[in-house]
Amino acid sequence: MKLTISISSKQYIRYYLLAFLLSPFLLIQAQETVQITSIFSVNSFPIINNNKAAIIYIDSSDAPVVTVAARAFQQDVELISNVKPLLNFTQKNVTSLPIIIGTRNHSKLVDQLVENGKLSTVTIDGKWESFIITVIKNPLPNVPQALVIVGSDARGTAFGVFEVSKQMGVSPW
């Protein structure tokens, strides 16, 4: 499975470097390697595609640091693509190809994915400041796939978000 950022030809070199930097970083739950590329393909997750960004979903009842991290990620995506993703604080009508950011037991959407067997958090349960970054196929009705960043606690969630930014070539500091 590949994460994809589709770009114009003007930005190809910049994003090719981004793809090179991100390719070894993510793991999918089924031990599939996630690769970042600049070309959209059937088995990819588009963070940016045709100058549209994936919508970022976070739970408004999650810790404030999760909102801070999501806003920073929103700015980071805009920094490298000139496209600003929307932030959605409601869990209703999740559509398209979302980026879901949340803390286990503090995000209704993340907990719903776990309860429905779409997401396993066994590798972070009971740990401090741990996170999972994964792409899930068919996580919700009418949603073909989602990029999910989930933390064992609020700091873990923030660290997961900042890790994605870091791998995109943007320093969180």
By DSSP bridging, strand 33-37 and strand 26-27 are: antiparallel
Mean pLDDT of the chain: 81
- As a whole number, mean pLDDT of residues 28-51 equals 64
Residue 152 in contact with residue 125, Cβ under 8 Å? yes
What are the residues whose beta carbons fall under 8 Å from the beta carbon of 97, sequence distance 6 or more? 45, 46, 54, 143, 144, 145, 146, 147
CA contacts within 13 A on the Cβ side of 171: 1
Supply 38's token pair.
């600049």
> Which residue in this structure is represented by tokens 């989930």?
150
Question: Does pLDDT of 152 surpass 90?
Answer: yes
Residue 148 in contact with residue 132, Cβ under 8 Å? yes
- As a whole number, mean pLDDT of residues 61-67 equals 97
- As a whole number, mean pLDDT of residues 38-46 equals 70
- pLDDT digits over 121-144, tens only? 999 999 999 999 999 999 998 899
Question: Does pLDDT of 6 surpass 70?
Answer: no
> Which residue in this structure is represented by tokens 């590798």?
123
Question: Does pLDDT of 26 surpass 60?
Answer: no
Question: Does pLDDT of 164 surpass 60?
Answer: yes
Question: Does pLDDT of 118 surpass 50?
Answer: yes
> pLDDT-derived band of residue 94, with 50, 70 and 90 as boundaries?
confident
Q: Which superfamily does CATH assign the domain made up of 47-167 to?
A: Chitobiase/beta-hexosaminidase domain 2-like (3.30.379.10)
What is the rounded distance in angstroms from the CA atom of residue 26 to the CA atom of residue 5?
Answer: 15
